[in-house]
Each structure stands twice: as C-alpha cells, then as structure tokens.
Homo-oligomer: A and B are copies of this chain.
Amino acid sequence: MGRWVPDARGRLAKAALALYSERGYEQTTVAEIAAHAGLTERTFFRHYADKREVLFAGSQELQTLFVDAVAGAPRDAAPLEAVAAGLDAAAELFTDRRPFARQRQAVIAANANLVERELIKLASLSSAIAATLRGRGVTEPAASLTAEAGVAVFKVGFERWVAPAETRDMADLMHEALDALKAAVAARGQ
C-alpha cells in the first residue's frame, strides 16, 4: 500500500458530515474532523477552503450537469424549457441519494453559516445558467431572470423532495414546482 491511506478528501467529508450530524456544526472543531479521518487540521485546510466547504464538494458536479443540460436543449426550446431540461438532469443526479441528501440538508438547515454557503452555491448555479442562456441567444435581463426562476423552482422542488414523508421522485416534484411557477406568474396581472 501507498505511503498514505487513500482518499483523504473523501474521508474528511465523511467524518465532517458524521460529526456535524452527531454533535452539531458549531460544536465540532476542524481538528476533530481531521483526527477522525486520521489526518491533521492543517491537511483539512489543504483539501477544503474552510470548515463549511467540506459539505459542498458535490455542488460543482450539479452545476456542470445542470448547465450542460441547458446548453444541450433543442435549439428551438424556449429559455424556460431549456432550464426545465436542467432540472431533469439535476433530478437524475440525485436519484438514489435521498438518504444522504436528507442527512446533509438537516445539518445545513440547522446552521445559518451553512445556509449562507448553500445560497452562494445556488447563486453560482444561477449565474452559470444565465451565462448559458445568453450563449443560446437570450438577452438580459431575460437570461438572469429565467435562471433565477429556474433555481427558485429547484429550491422549492428540492425542499419538498427531502421533506420527511415525501416519496415522490424529484423529477415529478420539479415539474410540479415549475408548473406552479408558470401559473403564479401568468395569473391575471393587468
């Protein structure tokens, strides 16, 4: 075997989620996470920029998948329909990860600092979607607004998907949320 136990990054992420779940985010020190992964505090910060980031390793993957789906939507699809393709891709990504997502979301919801980090990840997703829409010829401010609307749908759909009693597929919930948005915005305004 090599000089070090493999996958230090993964071990840190696993240890962090476990400890944050058990005793809470604030009550967990980085040194403890590192020790549980058989590493030192300094090494933790070589793998993750800060104590929060360790919970958001997958957000880049989500963004890439979402954006690629938007970019790959039929050329004649309306902007919001292209975003809907991204929502479908996201739903597929999360298939079979519901228990993990629930545990992780419980940790995040319990701490405002973690919620902040999640929000900036979603803002980054929104920016990337908007840029992709502009690449499809959508002009501002329509691109940004469509992207923001799409992320709002994702947020609402995701929230429902991780809700305790929920059993429906994420794709169904995303479609429901998207339809609800269309209805809400279309409702008899002057």
Assess whether B149 is in contact with A184, with CB atoms less than 8 Å apart.
yes
Q: A145 within 8 Å of B by Cβ?
A: yes
Residue numbers in B under 8 Å from A181 (CB-CB)? 145, 149, 185
Known contacts A119-B119, A141-B156; A182/B180 CB under 8 A: no
Q: How far is the CA of A82 from the CA of B148 in the complex (A)?
A: 20
Interface magnitude class on chain A: 35 or more
Assess whether A182 is in contact with B182, with CB atoms less than 8 Å apart.
no
Distance in angstroms from A49 CB to nearest chain B CB is: 10
Q: Which of B119, B155, B188 contacts A116 (CB 8 A)?
A: B119
Contacts A/B (CB < 8 Å), 21 sampled:
A78-B187, A78-B188, A78-B189, A79-B184, A81-B190, A115-B120, A115-B123, A116-B117, A116-B120, A119-B123, A141-B156, A141-B176, A142-B183, A145-B177, A146-B185, A148-B152, A149-B184, A149-B185, A181-B185, A185-B185, A186-B186
